Structure 1
Amino acid sequence: MVAMKQILSSAVAILVTLQISLAAPAPVEKRALSGSAPLASDINGAHLLLLNDVDSETGKNAFLLLSAARGYYDGMNACSTMGDGGYIYIPGTAGASNLITLLNNNAVAQKEVSAFSQFWVYNGVPGVLANCLAVNKNTGKTDWIPCSTKLPTVCFNSVLRRVLLFQDTSRQVKVNTPTGTIQGWRDMNAFRFLGIPYAEAPVGNLRFASPVAKAPFSGTWDALSYKGVCPQTSQSAGFLPMLLSYLENGASEKEDCLNLNVYTPSLKGTGQELLPVMFYIHGGGFTTYSGSVIIFEPGNMVSRGGVVVVTINYRLGMLGW
């Protein structure tokens, strides 16, 4: 608790220095679902590749690899469907060097890239051609080969890294689950599916009862933003209640709080080997905090480690213990 208060104190000092208002972040309801978000199963393998040294001062080149083998034009269309364009490969640049490194060794989609030596990159020439541009991961050189050749495609991943005061949720994607369709988004580091209910709301007859699994739902679940955090005493979370909305990423306290968040660097395709999963249960003395606290931001972990991270909320205080 002492360490947490020190962190909060530092955060307050930064906010005061920058003269940032401590008003609550924009309501999650204002982050609109896109009606054109692709279905992950249609893309059949989307992976975020990044040489992540976890240093925010270092320039980053981020790539979106679509590992399903397609012809060139189908690959470029798939990039567009995901909200970006085909990667413009320029030999000798830092981006080109990083891409070749990642195509030969990465923690996210190593088996997917190991099956191919060539990958589609953007032609740089308008119009329909007979031969299209592919980069060879072994030589770093490009070749013009028949556009009908079935290869994985390298796209830009142009969206910025998610930070507290800036969250670009425009690159959205849907996944089908046994409970229903869930729509989330990606940034530079991870695909993010936030505020997914794992149980029915613990209210009424369920207030002090064991959790009941969430029933299947129709439509599409909005997983763009964190949902309710479990009721807790503001004073137990620190000396500045105004900071709590930032600490909890803008989520408000609600009894309907049994939800989880999923962060993954990869949406695996059919038959592709799945990534390990890390399950994070937050601390706080059973009285405070949640799975959405900014202190534990797993974007770098999933990007660098090639793992899926799941964080959860659970009932606190007298409602849970």
Structure 2
Amino acid sequence: MKIFTLSCLMAAASLQAVFAQVLIAPETDMNSTVIPDTNTTTTESTTSDTSYSLADTSATSTPTILNSVQVLVDNNLEVGGANFPFIYLPEQRIALRGAASCSKLGELLYSAQSRSLPSVQKMLTQVAPNVTEFWIDTGASDSLYLTSCDTLVMKDGKATVKTGGSCLRLLPSLCSNVNVSGKVTVQTSLGRVTGARDAMGFRFQGIRYAQAPVGSLRFAAPVPVTTKWSSAVDATTPGNKCPQLGDLPGGKEDCLFLNVFTPILNAEDKNLLPVMFYLHGGSFTTGTGSDPAFNPANMASRGQVVVVTINYRLGLLGFLERVDAGISRSTLPGNQGVRDMLVALKWVQDNIASFGGDKSKVTVFGESAGGHAVRTLLSMPVAAKGLFRAAIAQSDPIDLPFNNVKTASTVVSGGAMTLLNCIDLACMRSKTVDELLAVQNTIVSQSIAHAPEESFLELIKPSVDGILIHNNFDQLIAGKDGGFVKVPMMIGTMKNEADGFLPSLGQSTPMPPTVMGATLATILGYQRAMVTIGYGLYPIDGSNPDGTREAEGLFASDYLWVCPTQFIAKAYAATNTPVYQYQFQRGYNPNRPSGDICATHVCHGDDVALVFASPSLMNNASTYPWTAADAALSRTVMDRWTAFATTGGNPNPAGDSNPAWPQYDGKTQSIYMFDTTNTVSTGGIRPQFCGFMDQAIHYDFQL
């Protein structure tokens, strides 16, 4: 008996040694996920096109290669609601190798206790519906994973634990997800990029997508990064934001970076996830893709999508042109910020598969000026061809048209050059960033006097340049000048979009009724303001101490956002291109002071938290109380955004108990109303008021 036992032990040891050799043999799939080996580190330098690096610092680890890795979380968007996160390794392996693969991530095989089974089965049904068995370890497996191993069995959508099975079968593995401070490296078309891992998935920040637009490249079209690098670059922290003033001034010209948030790495082609490409707002003069307010970790996790956020050039640095002064577009192209967006979208086409994304399933979305940027991309059927398949425009101030040559070249760029005493591009390139920002601020401050019909909110913005953009969006939808990018679109507004902008007109507190006429004249010009007052559709409630601002807010919301959005939706639907319209009747922004009119209204920007459920917000309860009702509305919103991206144009998630969202058409005019109880409205929004604007005073883009 002793001889038999000794023989068995020797055989087991020999078998274990063979398995160990298999485990440490490198896998050669160049699309593999790269997991740094924490036992061996070396300092590596970063190379790139020029003297600047492709990220802020260099990665410092020697990697070991694994195959596909997917982080799964039953994420209900509530505080502390990331339930039972685990990692799915779809590669089929014997149990010992599955355990070793988990170990490379600093994890163990998942214990799959009974309390976690509902969450586990929910996620596996979603991402691996055809897989029936997975390696786990409830503690009943033998320590060497040789003779008796645990598995989780899926049957008819239900998960059960099976113990005592053979360890030599080839099955996918489930790992724990508790060691969330590790790094991961992926192979892109240009070289390796190292990012970070957390409970929600993987994040890669500060990835350079174009050369630094400095020196001779200031005001030039972006130059994509094309030179390969040999050492992994560190993408664990955001890159520089673009120069700006505003609430958070600062930034550097070397700012063309993007960020990728993904729940999966090194996926097989059939498992690649939809991509959501976000464009930040900020009137084309402020903002950054790394703003914590729209950290997309929860969106990527819950929606099982890959989210990309980007920086693009802002202000004069992003929209300088002087065709009126004889400086050709071959020398000074204009729309530099728009060109940045196009290069970033092309980067996605070339590289997103390395981050688990499907380049054929890209949805562009953005809020405020980001929504305007989405409109801009839709207006470029040649330049944007094949770069995205669906679009979401949130709170785009659609009344504001693209700039014409007068505004873009003469008022904005010409005005700035005059203030700087510059007559050529060389002079403009010699100025400091601070000098450019100072004159930009002066030009914007004077904009109401120079071009009131175009500049109430965005003086600096994309222009009709005859190269990328050939006409305003309504004309392109009507079939003129090459048309538009015909993809499904989701578009909508907040109930009280304009109220938050009244302080920019000096109206931070209740105002006397006499101010109303001046406000209308500022937005419309004198003649159309008199017509509007004459129709009496926006009376001031004398019993309300804040009646003037209430009436002004209603008018400005209708004119700049609500009614032109409906006008465009109707025109879009008439081309037989799917369009879905919405309005938020409830938002999220708990930090409004009591005197702020938006403390009791649903204002511009109050949708951002509901779309993203940013962890930065949810982890700061003292400043941002996030209730179960907030989480419920956020789930409704986020699920529709990600369903739209996943399907390429249908915002109705499977198995959802909320009302179905019908496609908009000019007859029924169905609009989804996001609220504590979600509803579908028919017959359009505020038809009397929007009918007046459609027919009596028209919109700025029609003038």
Whether the aligned pair in 2 keeps the contact of 1:116 and 1:151 (CA below 8 Å) is no
SS of the equivalent of 1:60 reads strand
1:29 CA drift (Å): 6.7
Whether the aligned pair in 2 keeps the contact of 1:131 and 1:144 (CA below 8 Å) is yes
Mean CA deviation greater in 284-293 or 132-141: 132-141
Pairing partner for 1:213 from 224, 233, 239 = 224
Distance of aligned partners of 1:159 and 1:285 in 2 relative to their CA distance in 1, 3 Å threshold: farther
Distance of aligned partners of 1:59 and 1:198 in 2 relative to their CA distance in 1, 3 Å threshold: closer
One-letter amino acid matched to 1:133 = D
Pairing partner for 1:146 from 166, 174, 177 = 166
SS of the equivalent of 2:120 reads helix
1:74 paired residue number: 97
Q: Are residue 320 (structure 1) and residue 318 (structure 2) matched?
A: yes
1:103-252 matched pairs, under 5 angstroms? 103-104=124-125, 106=126, 110=127, 113-122=128-137, 124=139, 125-138=142-155, 139-159=159-179, 170-215=181-226, 216-233=228-245, 236=246, 238=247, 241=248
1:205 CA drift (Å): 0.9
1:23 paired residue number: none
Distance of aligned partners of 1:226 and 1:204 in 2 relative to their CA distance in 1, 3 Å threshold: same
Whether the aligned pair in 1 keeps the contact of 2:150 and 2:161 (CA below 8 Å) is no
Pairing partner for 1:304 from 291, 294, 302 = 302
Identity score, percent: 38
1:272 CA drift (Å): 3.1
Question: After TM superposition, which residue ranges in structure 1, 4 or more long, deviate above 6 angstroms?
Answer: none
One-letter amino acid matched to 2:169 = T
- Cα deviation, 1:132-166, whole Å, max 9, x if unaligned, reads 11111225121322211111110111146xxxxxx
Whether the aligned pair in 1 keeps the contact of 2:107 and 2:175 (CA below 8 Å) is yes
- Cα deviation, 1:188-231, whole Å, max 9, x if unaligned, reads 11210111110011111111110001122221110111011111
Q: Are residue 264 (structure 1) and residue 289 (structure 2) matched?
A: no
Separation in 2, partners of 1:37, 1:75: 18
Separation in 1, partners of 2:109, 2:161: 17
Whether the aligned pair in 2 keeps the contact of 1:82 and 1:172 (CA below 8 Å) is no
SS of the equivalent of 2:89 reads strand
- Cα deviation, 1:237-280, whole Å, max 9, x if unaligned, reads x2xx5xx7xxxxxxx72211101001111114334331111111
SS of the equivalent of 1:260 reads strand
SS of the equivalent of 1:77 reads helix
One-letter amino acid matched to 1:225 = T
Distance of aligned partners of 1:210 and 1:187 in 2 relative to their CA distance in 1, 3 Å threshold: same
Separation in 2, partners of 1:260, 1:158: 27
One-letter amino acid matched to 2:124 = L
Whether the aligned pair in 2 keeps the contact of 1:84 and 1:158 (CA below 8 Å) is yes
One-letter amino acid matched to 2:151 = A
Distance of aligned partners of 1:159 and 1:55 in 2 relative to their CA distance in 1, 3 Å threshold: farther
1:116 CA drift (Å): 2.1
Separation in 2, partners of 1:272, 1:182: 23
Distance of aligned partners of 1:312 and 1:59 in 2 relative to their CA distance in 1, 3 Å threshold: closer
2:121 paired residue number: 100
- Cα deviation, 1:55-89, whole Å, max 9, x if unaligned, reads 01436210111111111111111111122221112
Q: Are residue 35 (structure 1) and residue 33 (structure 2) matched?
A: no
One-letter amino acid matched to 1:147 = C
2:284 paired residue number: 286
Q: Which runs of 5+ in 1 are unaligned?
A: 1-27, 161-169, 245-251
SS of the equivalent of 1:140 reads strand
One-letter amino acid matched to 1:177 = T
2:666 paired residue number: none
One-letter amino acid matched to 1:35 = S
Whether the aligned pair in 2 keeps the contact of 1:192 and 1:262 (CA below 8 Å) is yes
- Cα deviation, 1:260-301, whole Å, max 9, x if unaligned, reads 001111114334331111111111111111000011111111
Separation in 1, partners of 2:318, 2:269: 40
Distance of aligned partners of 1:287 and 1:191 in 2 relative to their CA distance in 1, 3 Å threshold: same
Distance of aligned partners of 1:129 and 1:123 in 2 relative to their CA distance in 1, 3 Å threshold: farther
Separation in 2, partners of 1:159, 1:319: 42
1:100 CA drift (Å): 2.2
Separation in 1, partners of 2:83, 2:135: 21
Separation in 2, partners of 1:271, 1:194: 24
SS of the equivalent of 1:51 reads strand
Higher Rg of the two aligned structures: 2
Higher helix share: 2
Q: TM-score, normalised by structure 2?
A: 0.35
Pairing partner for 2:109 from 83, 86, 102 = 86
1:122 CA drift (Å): 2.0
Distance of aligned partners of 1:193 and 1:123 in 2 relative to their CA distance in 1, 3 Å threshold: same
Whether the aligned pair in 2 keeps the contact of 1:68 and 1:269 (CA below 8 Å) is no
Whether the aligned pair in 2 keeps the contact of 1:195 and 1:226 (CA below 8 Å) is yes
Separation in 2, partners of 1:58, 1:140: 23
One-letter amino acid matched to 2:196 = W
Q: Which runs of 5+ in 2 are unaligned?
A: 1-54, 320-703
Q: Which has the higher contact order (CA 8 A, sep 6+)?
A: 1
SS of the equivalent of 1:319 reads helix
Q: Are residue 58 (structure 1) and residue 81 (structure 2) matched?
A: yes
1:53 CA drift (Å): 0.7
SS of the equivalent of 1:61 reads strand
Whether the aligned pair in 2 keeps the contact of 1:44 and 1:270 (CA below 8 Å) is no
Separation in 1, partners of 2:312, 2:318: 7
Separation in 2, partners of 1:287, 1:178: 32
